Structure 1
Amino acid sequence: MIMLSILAMAALVFLSRYLFLEPKLPVRLRPSLQRLLRYSGPAVLTAIWAPIVFTHDKLLWLDRTNPYIWAALLAGFLAWKTKNVLLTTVVSMAVFLLLNLVVFRA
């Protein structure tokens, strides 16, 4: 049953992407809907990273010893300044590891 559910979800995701990416299919979205869909990526990403950064054990964790906040601030700054995804990812992960293992060690 689990495998069937996984395959059904995979098929649904594939078909929903295929309908909009295949240029030969006559499916077109209005420009206003295309403009609206530009916000879906950042909204989903924010829904993923915000609970990780700001909560711990289902409680709000706004403390100066929170390595997630410091690494997220650095990642945001590096992404804004350099516009380099690889550099932003590697540097912010290294800083998070350093903060988590050395600086804010419990």
Structure 2
Amino acid sequence: MIMLSIFAMTALVFISRYLFLEPKLPLRLSANVQRFLSYSSPAVLTAIWAPIVFTHEKSLWLDSFNPYIWASLLAGILAWKTKNVLLTTVVSMAVFLMLNLVLFRT
């Protein structure tokens, strides 16, 4: 049953990607649908990172000793100013590591 579920999900993902990425198929999305779908990536990413940054042990963690908040603020500022994904990732991860190891030891 598990293998059937895995194959079914694989087929579903492949078919959904194939329909939109194969240039020979006449399927095209309208401009309104494309504009609507452009909001899905930021929404999904926010749904992933917001609970990690703002919660700890199922409670809201808005504290000045929260290294996740400081590293995410730095990452946001770096991404906005430099537009360089690699630099933003490496620097914010290094700052997060330093905050955890040196400043906010618990």
The equivalent residue for 2:48 is: 48
Q: Which residue of 2 aligns with 1:57?
A: 57
Q: Could you tell me which residue of structure 2 aligns to residue 85 of structure 1?
A: 85
Deviation at 1:63, TM superposition (A): 0.3
Runs of 4+ in 1 over 2 A off after TM superposition: 1-4
* Gapped regions of structure 1 (runs ≥ 5): none
SS in 2 for 1:23: coil
Percent identity, aligned pairs only, is 81
Number of positions where the alignment pairs a residue of Structure 1 with one of Structure 2: 106
User: Whole-Å Cα distance in 1 between the matches of residues 105 and 65 of structure 2?
Assistant: 9
5+ residue gaps, structure 2: none
Measured in 2, the distance between the counterparts of 1:12 and 1:99 equals 42
TM-score normalised over the length of structure 1: 0.95
**Distance in 1 separating the partners of 2:20 and 2:43:** 20
Could you tell me how far 1:83 is from its partner in structure 2?
Answer: 0.5
User: Alignment partner of 1:93: what SS?
Assistant: helix
Q: CA deviation at 1:50?
A: 0.4
C-alpha separation in 1, matches of 2:56 and 2:74:
20
Which secondary structure state, in structure 2, belongs to the residue aligned with residue 91 of structure 1? Answer: helix
1:104 — aligned with what?
Answer: 104
Q: Distance between the aligned counterparts of 1:89 and 1:3, measured in 2?
A: 36
